[in-house]
Amino acid sequence: MGYYSKEIECASRSEIRRLQDSRLVEQVRYVWDNVPYYRHKMEEKGVKPEDIRSIDDICKLPFLKKDDLRDAYPDGLRGAPKKDIVRIHSTSGTTGKRVVAYYTREDLELWDTCVARALCAADITDEDIVQVCYGYGLFTGGLGLHGGAEKLGCMVLPMSSGSTDRQLQFMEDLQSTVLCCTPSYAAYLAETITEKGLRDRIHLRRGIFGAEAWSEDMRASIEASLGIKAHDIYGLTELSGPGVAYECSEQSGMHINEDHFYAEIIDPDTCESLPLGSKGELVITSLTKKGFPLLRYRTRDICILSAEKCSCGRTFVKMSRPMGRSDDMLIVKGVNVFPSQIETVLIQQGYAANYQIIVDRQNHSDTLDVLIEMTPENFSDNLGKITAQEKSLVAELKAMLGIYANVHLVAPKTIARSEGKAVRVIDKRKI
């Protein structure tokens, strides 16, 4: 059980609800007074702060979407004076204007607390040596895990991403026990450790992985190859970063830090609120952040919320691992396709989770190509053997996706490795 914030993490549902009620009322008034952009959205909807008396009234508030954050760039949603802002983080901006998120000193302290809870939930203590391989800088991963680990009292190795040889040198020489990075980079490190024969000299026991989608099959593969227990962590730059939700030792969903974030599930098409246990789009309201206080932010992540009792003793609602996204979901020939479906097939067939999906349009018809990197063990220059493997994968992918995919098996290490977020999809229809 996480000792870091036992009082709130194990509070009764009624206690959590009372805290959320009061914090929502306070936060709505704060946003109304300090964020003109959102006040205007409330006025358009005919809502005033006095209309919000509890969580039950949250449905009266307007949603915020990524387009709002871009429209308000650079600081239209900033909720505190610049003199009170001590840091910014930002999204990559690969699909439009960057989103700039602002943090007060109190915001950073609360963020560190949320991440420290996540580490405690993974049975990490101040005896651990935490190697942070998420990128530092504008990306929230590096500094987010760094702050939480320091707050917990761990020795932190601020490696950032890249320089794999140096990563492994420090991992071996300083005997890192916890690895924090994207799952795709963890898989790459595991592959390199095996190739270099370093497995017996690595002391890792836990991994904290997030920032991109990964499947249960990929988790099992990473755990087996590194000899660790791999925990998921969830967050968004818009809401602070990693630490919005985290896995405990049970690994059956991620507990949401409900004293700081209120979560809803909605139908992504109708925006209708859905009950616990329903699959839909995750919407999160920040209850305490002041520098960038977002209300009802549509994450576009598809998941399920559950309030079932957890054996770890925590009472926070849990979210499932995101099952895809409502905005970057691929629609190929009218069929919904998620990269995670393809990943599941590959790992079950014994392939590494290094692949690339290319969608194009020829003669007004969609095409779907999947490039799959073979492992050294199953690679062969024998064209007939590769063709047989391709045929098997084509059949498995068609059964999973419901449409035909052109499968291309490529030699080991011919698909570019990623030390940040993996580039899984290239959709040429948008170019």
For the cut 90, the answer to whether the pLDDT of residue 204 exceeds it is: yes
* H or E element, residue 389: helix 383-401
The separation between the first and the last C-alpha atoms of the chain, rounded to the nearest angstrom, is 50
Q: What percent of the chain has pLDDT over 70?
A: 92
Residue 235 pairs with which residues in a beta bridge?
242
pLDDT of residue 362: 84
Residue 87, helix vs strand vs coil: strand
Which residue in 367, 346, 419 sits closest to 141, CA to CA? 419
pLDDT of residue 196: 96
pLDDT of residue 22: 98
In this prediction, residue 284 has a pLDDT band, given cuts at 50, 70 and 90, of: very high
For the cut 50, the answer to whether the pLDDT of residue 199 exceeds it is: yes
For the cut 50, the answer to whether the pLDDT of residue 168 exceeds it is: yes
pLDDT of residue 3: 43
Peptide linkage before 36 cis (omega within 30 of 0): no
Q: What percent of the chain has pLDDT over 90?
A: 67
In DSSP notation, 207-276 reads EEE-SS---HHHHHHHHHHHTSEEEEEEEEGGGTEEEEEEE-TT-SSEEE-TTTEEEEEE-TTT--EE-T
pLDDT of residue 417: 62
In this prediction, residue 352 has a pLDDT band, given cuts at 50, 70 and 90, of: confident
Q: What pTM was computed for the model? A: 0.83
Q: What is the mean pLDDT of residues 386-402?
A: 80
For the cut 70, the answer to whether the pLDDT of residue 418 exceeds it is: no
Give the strand pairing for 254-256 and 241-247.
antiparallel
For the cut 80, the answer to whether the pLDDT of residue 25 exceeds it is: yes
Mean pLDDT of the chain: 90
Q: What is the mean pLDDT of residues 356-364?
A: 84
What gap in Å lies between CA 360 and CA 358, rounded to an integer?
A: 7
pLDDT of residue 373: 84
Indicate the range of 162-166, 238-242, 364-368 predicted with least confidence.
364-368
pLDDT of residue 79: 98
The percent of the chain in helix, strand and coil, each rounded to the nearest 5, is 35, 25, 40
Is 81 within 8 Å of 105 (Cβ atoms)? no
In this prediction, residue 385 has a pLDDT band, given cuts at 50, 70 and 90, of: low
Domains present along the chain, CATH in parentheses: 1-326 (3.40.50.12780), 330-430 (3.30.300.30)
For the cut 90, the answer to whether the pLDDT of residue 394 exceeds it is: no
Structure tokens at 10: 């194990």
